[in-house]
Structure 1
Amino acid sequence: MKMEKKDLHLEVKKMESLLQTSCRTIWENPEVGGNEKASADYFRRLLDAEGFHIINEEHLEHAFCAEYGSGKPVIAILGEYDALPGLSQKVTDKKKPVKAGAPGHGCGHNLLGSAAAVGAIAVKRYLEAEGISGTVRFYGCPEEELLCGKVKMAYYHMFDGCDFAISWHPMSANMVYDNGYLASASAHFEFKGRSSHAAFAPELGRSALDAVELMNVGVNYLREHVTSKARIHYTTDSGGFAPNIVPPRAGSWYFVRAPYISDVKEILARVGKVAEGAALMTETQVEMKVDYGCCEMQENHAFGDLAYENLKEAELPVFDEEEMAFANRLLESVSDADKEKAQKLYETEGKPMVWKLNSRNLYEINPLTASSDSGDVSHMMPMCAISTSCWPAGVAPHTWQSAAAAGSSLGEKGALCAAQVIAGIAYDLYNKPEVREDILKEFEEKKDEYTPMYEG
């Protein structure tokens, strides 16, 4: 008997305990970007046991691809598992770290990677049962919070041969994002001067710290003359010298964000000129090193339509009274204004959790204004992006409240729904050539030349 989409949804449902185990295992062992050894190894073992072929990249220790099947189309399912520094949190309605200063899953990547893996397993079982042409790939993607993991993976050609990509993220809503993410780039500026005694012979010194401060002042004036949607953030490093030493070394670290990567490159070049001006004024030298950059998400409405239809068909998260009570307690630490704004936006009818499908065009008034290296994937192949309700409306990601929800049944129910949606989207891509053609046509019309903003 032919396996239908409802059977695929049931296959995901059968794996609910596996999903919960995965979500909790990653949540209980948080690892920040660049250190995700246990998390990556967990998913490697899980998918290897299921019969996937594991492909590792020698240059990226914690990145991998798990592949099953043969032939076209090749569907990439994106998984992440890195945590955030300093967001250790117990599953409680009060700010209470498991370990002070330790990392935690305040962005719900324990849910993200787990739902993606379960969705991929369901798709594998479908391909295996039906014996049709098609390949599924689960991508273990590290360092998303550093905005560079997938950029590095693209640089090393790990996504070559893929036709479509499916992504999701825990949020407060059940919705589709047709576009989003601010493009971003990271750059370090290192100034070198000449040390001297700050009181005895200040005229002999050339202060690298003065250069850093002048650069930052210059960039603050620059803000008025870039696109209003741009964001420029920085931190500084004075080198740790005592006040009576003219600092011979100092630096600053900048993030530049804007709606398009072309804007980011232009603004970053102007920031570089400001740095050169600061060096000229202080008679120091400056070295600019661009670490990496990530792109905005390329819109694809045809793919968004497909994703939305699959959100309609999946079992949306249903929260019981105890879970709603926990969500309400989490919201006690959120301002009334923020809570009311979110509940109005998501039309929760006063409930703390979103319990229904949000409108198709909600992304237009609630865009993704953060950045993600997933944007780069959308420039290599058509990519869709969904979110499901995993924490209360009014709670922001990267907070202790979202970390608590991500370790609870609130997040796990949202992840189960996401796994069904992922599997359903893949099912349609394998079985509806006309839908594939529409998505690819739109992608070809909008795509531009893509080169990873990374130098290895």
Structure 2
Amino acid sequence: MTTLQALQGFFQQAGPRMNAMADHIWSLAELRYAETASAALHQQALQQAGFRVQTHLADIPTAFVAEWGEGGPVLALLGEYDALSGLNQQSGALTCMPSSDSPGAAGHGCGHHLLGVAAHWAAIALAEHLRQTGQPGRVRFYGCPAEEGGSGKTFMARAGVFDDIDAALTWHPGSHTGVFSQSTLANIQAKFTFQGRAAHAAHSPHLGRSALDAVELMNVGVNYLREHMPPDARVHYAVTDSGGLSPNVVQARAQVLYLIRAADNQAAAQLYERVQNVARGAALMTECQLDIGFDKACSNLLQNSVLNQVMYQAMQALGRLQPDAQSHALAGQFQATLAASDLDSASRPLASVLRGQRPAIFEGISPYDPQAQDILSGSTDVADVSWIAPTAQAWVACYAFGTPLHSWQMVAQGQSPLAHAGMERAARILTATAIRLLQQPELLTQARQELLQRRGGQPYVCPIPAQAALPFLQG
């Protein structure tokens, strides 16, 4: 009998409760650093399961750690529960239809309601394994807020909360199943606030100094900069304050938020300096004052082939996903709402598995190649944990194949039976991976050696300066 077979009753008993918890968090849909109800729900359930809970981790009200066990290796399970602005959506709707109870509010367009609950579920299952076997070891569930636009784990890493763990495991909901084997981009996010001088735009425009002009000039300057950036770099912006609603007033204040991505921390810092210089030029041209507020940052992800192999073998042992006919039919309906480019983007990296087919649900496991050098153009604050301790992640199919991240279709499928089935599969993968690491501690030693090798002798240096305030404390 395998370890997971021994825990089969636990998973069957806990399943409905965990599905209900995920659905509750889906309905809460709280933004970065405001996930008060979601964090409290996790904390309460873990305390009831016998975990020791420490709240306000790293001085963040919605960050916490829950620990069970004594002695032995420390295995971390990373959970998230934050949502995305403006992605509120009616569950199950096959058109973009904001929910009537909270139109325009946040939505779980990246599946973090599932992510946190599966990691939570795996933590309790691992604690049950330790209880049944009497094996030494400590399991920690880290409640990590603000992955979306807040780099909560990076602030937590700056505070040293991951320094004593032996390995970290997590996953991400998606439309296929496989090891998260790509590197990711480092990033820096900052606010650029311009202060000008108000004036009557018709009577005395010469007396005004337009902060909105400065924002527009900065955006134009950065657009010219794009030609001269490294090809893997990305720069995004959002005008967060346009200076008011009156066109007959020269706007005295305006603000733009920039997110700058590059291959690693050094490249991101260099590109950030160039963007700052563009902003300084815009301020000079418009005779405005400029304030640059560092918001957050995260590192590039370091892969760990030792842990990845263990996780991949756990996936193979579980076998293929076996959704029912109803899930297939619903997935087909959602897939019909996607653009051809969505399916092309999802199919390209899986061409060797799909062989020209585009199933409504990806039921298999994508091959893992430890020699691959792929880069995911997005970013994740899991990366900062990966510099501190060996880290592995899984993709698990919870949505119709091809469903893009941060889309209304993803939100609409977040309470479906397929989403629940994928969440349970993720919990089993994480649990099986963790148990094997406890049973074969030499794997943890090998994984640590690989981490040191990949760091190339460099220590972890948090990309967020020590003096940078947490985003929710900034003025």
- TM-score class, shorter: over 0.9
Q: 1:134 aligns with which of 132, 137, 143?
A: 137
Structure 2: how far apart are the matches of 1:12 and 1:327?
A: 25
CA distance in 1, matches of 2:341, 2:194: 44
261-270 or 87-96, larger mean C-alpha shift: 87-96
The one of 442, 450, 453 aligned to 2:460: 450
Query: Is the partner of 2:284 in helix, strand or coil?
Result: helix
Q: Do the aligned partners of residues 434 and 259 (structure 1) sit closer, same or farther apart at CA in structure 2, a change above 3 Å counting? A: same
- Counterpart residue type for residue 181 of structure 2: D
Contact 2:197/2:210 (<8 A) preserved: yes
User: CA offset at residue 144 of structure 1?
Assistant: 1.1
**Equivalent residue runs for 1:276-291 within 5 Å:** 276-291=280-295
Which residue is equivalent to 2:27? 28
CA displacement at 1:261 relative to structure 2: 1.8
Q: Percent identity of the aligned residues?
A: 36
Which of 406, 422, 428 aligns to 1:398? It is: 406
In 2: Cα distance, 1:242 partner to 1:215 partner: 22
User: Which of 389, 392, 396 is residue 388 of structure 1 equivalent to?
Assistant: 396
- The structure 2 residue matched to 1:229, chosen from 232, 247, 259, is 232
* Structure 2 partner of 1:96: 97
CA distance in 1, matches of 2:2, 2:32: 39
Shift of 1:364: 4.6
2:423 matched residue in structure 1: 415
Task: Tell me the secondary structure at the aligned position of residue 406 of structure 1.
Answer: coil
Match of 2:378 among 367, 370, 377: 370
Q: Separation in 2 of the partners of 1:51 and 1:395?
A: 38
Q: Deviations over 1:315-338 (max 9, x none)?
A: 543111111000000011112453
Which residue number in structure 2 is paired with residue 202 of structure 1? 205
* SS of match in other structure, 1:62: coil
- CA deviation vs aligned residue, 1:341-370 (integer Å, no higher than 9, x gap): 635654454421011111113995875322
Q: How far apart, in 1, do the equivalents of 2:245 and 2:413 lie?
A: 43
Q: Which residue of 2 aligns with 1:177?
A: 180
Instruction: Give the Å deviation of 1:437.
Output: 1.7
TM-score by length of 1: 0.94
Matches within 5 A, 1:5-20: 5-8=4-7, 11-20=10-19
**1:202 Cα deviation from its structure 2 partner:** 2.9
Moved more, 21-30 or 44-53: 21-30
| Counterpart AA for 1:92 | A
Which stretch shifts more, 294-303 or 42-51? 294-303
Equivalences for 1:162-311 in 2 at 5 Å?
162-236=165-239, 237-240=241-244, 242-311=246-315
User: For residues 403 and 367 of structure 1, do their structure 2 counterparts lie closer, same or farther at Cα, with a shift above 3 Å needed?
Assistant: farther
Deviation, structure 1 residue 34: 2.1
**Secondary structure of the structure 2 residue equivalent to 1:66:** strand
Change (3 A) 1:139 1:390: same
Asked if 1 retains the 8 angstrom alpha-carbon contact of 2:181 and 2:374, the reply is: no
For 2:223 and 2:96, locate their aligned partners in 1 and report how far apart those are by CA, in whole Å: 34
SS in 2 for 1:268: helix
Matched residue type, 2:288: T
> Deviation of residue 205 (structure 1)?
2.5
In the TM superposition, residue 10 of structure 1 has moved relative to its aligned partner by 5.3
Separation of aligned partners in 1, 2:453 and 2:8: 33
> CA 1:318/1:117 → structure 2, altered by over 3 Å: closer, same or farther?
same
How far does residue 396 in structure 1 lie from its aligned partner after superposition? Answer: 0.6
* Structure 2 residue corresponding to 1:433, chosen from 432, 441, 446: 441
RMSD: 2.1
Decide whether the 8 Å contact of 2:35 with 2:81 is kept in 1.
yes
Aligned residue identity for 2:311: A
C-alpha displacement at 1:48, in angstroms?
0.5
Equivalent residue, structure 1, for 2:123: 120
User: Which consecutive aligned stretches of 4+ in structure 1 deviate over 4 angstroms post-superposition?
Assistant: 362-367
Residues of 1 paired with 2:401 and 2:371: CA distance?
Answer: 15
The superposition leaves residues 239-271 of structure 1 with CA deviations (integer Å, 9 ceiling, x where unpaired) of 116333332222211110112121111100111
- Structure 2 gap ranges (5+): 470-475
Q: Does 1:342 align with 2:341?
A: no
* Secondary structure in 2 matching 1:351: coil
Q: Which AA in structure 1 matches 2:199?
A: S
Whichever residue aligns with residue 451 of structure 1, its letter is: V
Count of aligned pairs between the two proteins:
455
CA distance in 1, matches of 2:188, 2:319: 38
Q: Secondary structure at the match of 2:364?
A: coil
Separation (CA, whole Å) in 2 of partners of 1:312 and 1:373: 27
2:277 aligned partner, one-letter code: K
Contact residue 182 and residue 374 of structure 2 kept, 8 A = no
CA distance in 1, matches of 2:25, 2:341: 33
User: Which residue number in structure 2 is paired with residue 41 of structure 1?
Assistant: 40
Distance 2:19 2:28 in 1: 14
Matches of 1:368 and 1:392 in 2, distance apart?
A: 20
Q: Contact 2:186/2:299 (CA < 8 Å) preserved in 1?
A: yes
Q: Which moved more, 1:156-165 or 1:253-262?
A: 156-165
User: Which residue identity lines up with residue 71 of structure 1 in the other structure?
Assistant: G
Local SS of the residue matching 2:61: strand
Residue 380 of structure 1 deviates from its aligned partner by 1.3
The answer to whether the 8 A contact 2:182-2:373 is kept is: no
TM (norm. structure 2) is 0.90
> What are the Cα deviations for residues 422-443 of structure 1, in whole angstroms up to 9, with x where unaligned?
0011111111122112111100
**2:425 alignment partner, SS class:** helix
Tell me, yes or no, if the aligned pair for 2:52 and 2:66 is still in contact at 8 Å.
Answer: yes
Q: CA deviation at 1:313?
A: 1.5
1:408 aligned partner, one-letter code: S
Secondary structure at 1:386 match in 2 = strand
User: Does the C-alpha gap of structure 1 residues 126 and 168 become closer, same or farther in structure 2, counting only changes over 3 Å?
Assistant: same
1:181 Cα deviation (Å)? 2.4
1:176-206 deviations in Å (ceiling 9; x for gaps): 1233222111111111222333333333332
Separation of aligned partners in 1, 2:332 and 2:167: 38
Write the distance in 2 (CA, Å) between the matches of 1:407 and 1:173. Answer: 17
Return closer, same or farther for 1:305/1:285 CA change in 2, 3 Å cut-off. Answer: same
Provide the residue aligned with 1:54 in structure 2.
53
